[in-house]
Structure 1
Amino acid sequence: MTKKELRKVAGEQRKLLSEAEVAVYSRALLDHFSSFDLSGVKTIHIFIPIAEKKEPDTFIFIDWLAIHHPQIKIIVPKADFNTALMSHYVYPGKEALIKNLYNILEPQKGELHTGEVDMVVIPMLAFDERGYRVGYGKGFYDRFLLNVDTLKIGLSFFGPVDLIADVNEYDARLDLCITPEKIYEFKSKKY
């Protein structure tokens, strides 16, 4: 399937999920994530969920990290839709986030992070068995990940499709993808 086709199919799958299912699946994603050894991780970039699009609830990840790994700096994105680039801010707390024109919660001010990032938790609509993902099509994460040496982890409520037909050289490949059922690993595979 092409990215355009997958966006439509995955978007429809998500629409069918109830709020209770999103909560249960998000908790299952966190259960897998909490099994990772984070002892060497200093900074994690994590996306803020768009509730209307029924994205995984990453607020529970942020809360879990704050309790179990308070030494880890959590950074969140702020998108510039004119340049299709993201800036990264130290997470200021949920109450300091404001919705932008696209209904995405973002920090409006605060501490800008320009240093290294050890792990990036990435939003997506779908992924394939090679570790390529389909997002919303703006390329924010592909641009960000192009020049960053980091562990790339996707979160998906659904398992992989066989193949995304129109992957290109600018598409960043995931190292891991967590689903409610299991963790898919791509880092060691050669493609």
Structure 2
Amino acid sequence: MSSTDQKKEELRDRVLSQRKEMPEEEWEEKSQSITRKLTESDFFNDAKVVHTYVSMNERREVNTDELIEKLFESEKKVVVPVTNFSDHSLTHIELRSFGELISNKWGVREPEIKENQVQEEDLDLIVIPMAAGDRKGNRLGYGQGFYDRFLEQTNGLKVGFVFSDFLFDDIPAEEFDVKMDVIITENELFFT
């Protein structure tokens, strides 16, 4: 393991442990604020096809349930990822209701039926989970590389969701790590 990988792993362990301890009410309020900042933005309003992760709420990821509800109520196409464990890739499926979701072996809610596949080039805006991030647009994920592989294949606007406690001036990053175009916390929205 390289020294950068080691630093990433240590930071990931620390922030995920801290995030898990966030009280539910605080987590809900901060998640709602992040969602509001996104849905009030011009780039969100202009997007026709929005890709978003489905949050692992028991792990205190920024909650995307409200965002997905708003997308269902809009004219936008809602697309969510499906994990392919065999090759560490993601497939992108149009979602029409929460009832289509089941939990995979990691506890991530995904569409049970893998029809209605959407290609990477058709995505206008992509909402991405972050364990941590920095002001340069670097993202610390969960260490499996699913999103880095996917984000290399798309020109959609890359929007990272992260709580402000886990946004730093600088985090360990490598050349192949794909940077975010926009980062949203409960306190701010900024382009990188």
**Structure 1: gaps of 5 or more residues:** 187-191
Give the counterpart of 2:22 among 17, 25, 29: 17
Match of 2:38 in 1: 33
Indicate conservation of the 8 Å contact 1:88/1:113, yes or no.
yes
Q: CA deviation at 1:162?
A: 2.0
Aligned residues: 183
Q: Which one of the candidate residues 39, 43, 48 is aligned to 2:49?
A: 43
What's 1:157 paired with?
Answer: 163
Give me the TM-score of the superposition, normalised by structure 1.
0.90
Deviation at 1:155, TM superposition (A): 0.5
Counterpart of 1:82?
A: 86
Deviation at 1:39, TM superposition (A): 4.0
Give 2:99's match in structure 1, choosing from 95, 99, 104: 95
Instruction: For residue 82 of structure 1, give the secondary structure of its aligned residue in structure 2.
Output: coil
Contact kept, 8 Å, 1:84 with 1:138, in 2: the verdict is yes
Aligned equivalents of 2:57 and 2:36: distance in 1? 20
Q: Residues of 2 paired with 1:66 and 1:35: CA distance?
A: 16
Structure 2 counterparts to residues 51-62 of structure 1, below 5 A:
51-62=57-68
Q: Flag the structure with higher helix content.
A: 2
**2: distance between equivalents of 1:31 and 1:78?**
25
The separation in 1 between residues aligned to 2:71 and 2:116, in whole angstroms, is 19
Task: Report whether the alignment pairs 1:144 with 2:153.
Answer: no
What secondary structure is seen at the aligned counterpart in 2 of 1:86? strand
Cα deviations by residue, 1:97-124 (Å, 9 ceiling, x for unpaired): 0011111110021311125100000001
For structure 2, which runs of at least 5 residues remain unmatched after alignment? none
Q: Residue 141 of structure 1 aligns to which amino acid in structure 2? A: Y
**Greater Cα offset, 46-55 or 108-117:** 108-117
